[in-house]
Amino acid sequence: MSRFILIASGKGGVGKTTTAVNLATAMHSMDEDVTLVDVNFTTPNVGIHLGAPVVPITLNHVLSGRAEIADAIYEHESGIKVIPSSISISELKKLEESNLSSIVKDLNHISDTVLLDSAAGLGSEAMTSMSIADDVVIVTNPEMPAVTDALKTAKIAEELGKNVLGVIVTRTNGSKSEMSLKSIKEMLEIPILGVIPEDDCVKEALAMRNAVFLTHPYSKAAVSYGEIAGKILGKRFEAPKRSFFARVFGL
């Protein structure tokens, strides 16, 4: 049986897809068999983050019974398996998202760990993907509106009997105006799995259309994602070490 981990948020644009692609690549580097599924049907972004070409068969085809799940799995250069959603508007109109639960048994044979990159909020597509998750990881920025919305998502997940693993606080910059980790933890009443600082390397990785964990392995964001992935899997993450010369010359 696979472990289905949903990467969710209340507010949009907080860093879910960035988190999903980096946790997937970090987990793979720790010898975990991982599949990343884009369940953000209306605005799928995994392909953009990973530089995937437009593919002929997507999750939409599987959900509408026009393809088997095996036909919608693509291997990324990193070694992770990816099941993309369609970016086409006509495919979106044909979408049968409620069929997601009926393909879980097929997804179960694909990988030990299945990461689901959710849509934001608590609309029907986010709720459908939450319904198939075992564990939920909440992503938020350290700002009151994002944390307030994260609280709703965490509470709904708990009410549905999901195992909320904790929250990842992304894009922290240490400014006085942002919420402290202590306040975020007190408000959400769930563990803080890790903190990802605001990091230009993440933006550079997006421009390179790859995970920062792979493009900038020494960056703070990459190391933090590696540590969080290790925590989720119960494995030890060894951060790569830079040589003396690389450190001195900023290589």
Nearer to ligand ATP, 108 or 148 (CB): 148
* Shortest Å distance, C-beta 186 to Mg ion: 27
Question: Taking the complex as a whole, how short is the minimal distance between the CB of residue 244 and ligand ATP, in angstroms?
Answer: 28
Q: How far is the CB of 248 from ligand ATP (least distance, A)?
A: 26
Measuring CA to CA, which residue among 19, 9, 8 is closest to residue 206? Answer: 19
Give phi and psi for 79, each to the nearest 5: 105, -15
Q: How far is the CB of 240 from ligand ATP (least distance, A)?
A: 19
Query: Minimum Å distance from CB 206 to ligand ATP?
Result: 4
In 68-218 the beta strands, taken as DSSP E runs, fall at 74-75, 81-83, 113-117, 135-140, 163-172, 192-197
Closest of 132, 15, 29, 33 to residue 81, by C-alpha: 33
d(CA 166, CA 154): 9
Between 34 and 206, CB nearer to Mg ion: 206
Per CB under 5 A, the segment of 14-22, 64-72, 133-141, 181-189 that binds Mg ion is 14-22
Question: Total number of residues binding Mg ion (CB under 5 A)?
Answer: 3
Q: Are 130 and 162 in contact (CB under 8 A)?
A: yes
Angle at 35 between CA 218 and CA 161, to 5 degrees: 105
What is the x/- site pattern for Mg ion, positions 20-59, by CB under 5 A?
-------------------------x--------------
Return the residue of 17, 60, 86, 224 that touches Mg ion, per CB under 5 A.
17
Nearer to Mg ion, 50 or 230 (CB): 50
**β-bridge partners, 37:** 83, 116
